[in-house]
Amino acid sequence: MSAEDYCDLCDLPKSQCIHGNPPAPPPPRATARTATPRAGRPVVKKAAPSRSVPRKWTPPEAFRPDIVAVLEEAGGQLEQEELFRALEDRMAERLTEADHQTTPEGELRWRYAARRARQALIADGEMTKGRPGVWSLG
């Protein structure tokens, strides 16, 4: 039998982490606001849905090259908190106000996106799932 399962996102035991069930929703795609309006069919402007979360989060893909770069500069691995500090510095000018807001679970959105980027990097073999709480290049 496996020992206690660890959360893929935060490396805490699932019983302790904030992600749990149900799985967190995927990040939003590009906003409609920046899209060029099309001539022709009339655009019906709808009021924002009641949950007025700004849709300007940086997607996980945007974090991938910077996570890899930070880890390379650190020699291949970093404690999660150190990685977040370095990543935040590195991406400071690109992170949006919305990125600095928190998810319903109370986690900073950009950190959540970075965790998802890490999962993708692990899936692609660019990173390894090492010790819990440590981010490592593969």
- Enumerate binding residues for Zn ion (CB under 5 A): 7, 9-10, 17, 19
Instruction: Name the DSSP class of 99.
Output: G
Handedness of CA 62, 83, 25, 13 (dihedral sign): positive
Nearest CB to Zn ion, comparing residues 9 and 117: 9
CA 96 vs CA 38, 99, 100: distances in Å? 27, 5, 7
Distance of closest approach, residue 113 Cβ to Zn ion, in angstroms? 14
Rounded least distance, CB 116 to Zn ion, Å: 11
**Separation of alpha carbons 57 and 98, rounded Å:** 6
Q: What is the C-alpha to C-alpha distance for residues 10 and 105, in angstroms, rounded to an integer?
A: 12
Place of tokens 């899936």: 123
CB nearer to Zn ion: give 54 or 107. 107
When the beta carbons of 7 and 74 are compared against Zn ion, the nearer one is 7
Q: Which is nearer to Zn ion, 75 or 106 (CB)?
A: 106
The CB-of-10 to Zn ion minimum distance in angstroms stands at 4
Shortest spacing between CB 107 and Zn ion, in angstroms: 9
